[in-house]
Structure 1
Amino acid sequence: MNWYVVYTKPKWEKKVADRLIQQGIECYCPLVTQVKQWSDRKKKVETPLFSSYVFVQLADSDRNLVFQVQGVVRYLFWLGKPAIVKDQEIEIIKKSLTAPNLSDISISSIQVGDKIKLESGVFSNQNAIVQQVSSNYYVLVLETLGCVLKIKYK
């Protein structure tokens, strides 16, 4: 069975994930905890990592089952076909959300365009290209995962 990406109505990610689970469809909605501030208080709130997206794992023949759930809009397509997410990519997302924050990172003179291999953390053994160097962060492009990683340092 493949993982697919379902596009939801805005702010409906958690509701859709709960309803998909009730229907017996395996899904994953990665959540991050953020501190939101109002004029009178601060509160920790779980927000989706990807706005308006939920990952579902089901057989190709069962893809239409998700449309029985209120809040589902459509599938995300790539090159005219429903986008398929690899199991290892879902596992990397899960690991990155449960990994402790890295506060002890050593930096040696890294320049824009350098090709590096990450040695520790959730993205260990991944090759990256340095895209941007700032006074307190680096922006790396992880070629195999097709994503950009921003690493802050003090």
Structure 2
Amino acid sequence: MNWYVVYTKPKGEKKVAEQLNRFGINCYCPLIIKEQQWSDRKKKIQVPLFNHYVFVQLAEKDRNLVFTSPGAIRYLFWLGKHAIVKDKEIETIKEWLKDETAEISITSYQVGETIQVDSGPFLNQNAVVKEITNTHYFLILESLGCTLKIRIK
């Protein structure tokens, strides 16, 4: 069975994942802990790693089952076909989220240059340097279709 990407309503990722799990659909909504600042306090909350996206694993014939959740809007498409995420990529995301201490360090790269990550959870992944600031690198992981923000040590 393939992993597909479902586009959800704003701030509906966790709810859609819960509903789909209740319906017996294998889904994954990667969550990270973020410190949120309110006017009177700070609080650590879980937020989705990818806004508006939930990964679902099901057979192609069962793809319409995700719409039993009212928060699921549509599937993500890539080159006119349903976007399929490889099992290895889902496992990479899971491993990366488990390793809270992992930091990737890259130096002397230019914007637009294609590099291969040589350490951390994205080991051997190809990435394009999108932007370099004083504190961060922004990399595009083409195989995952996402941008990675890395703090410069």
Q: Same fold (TM over 0.5)?
A: yes
Aligned to 1:48: 48
Secondary structure class of the residue paired with 1:93: helix
Aligned to 1:2: 2
After superposition, the CA RMSD in angstroms is 2.2
CA distance in 2, matches of 1:79, 1:104: 31
Summarize deviations over 1:25-83 as a string: whole Å, max 9, x none: 00000111101011111111101111111110000011111111221111112222221
Q: Given the two structures, how large is their TM-score scaled by the length of structure 1? A: 0.84
More deviation in 141-150 or 8-17? Answer: 141-150
Identity %: 61
Contact 2:85–2:144 (CA under 8 A) maintained in structure 1: no
CA distance in 1, matches of 2:96, 2:82: 25
CA distance in 2, matches of 1:95, 1:126: 14
Equivalent pairs, count: 153
Q: How does 1:2-41 map to 2 (within 5 A)?
A: 2-41=2-41
More deviation in 46-55 or 113-122? Answer: 113-122
Runs of 5+ in structure 2 lacking a partner?
A: none
Aligned to 1:152: 151
CA distance in 1, matches of 2:62, 2:71: 18
Larger Rg: 1
Aligned to 2:118: 119
CA distance in 1, matches of 2:113, 2:9: 40
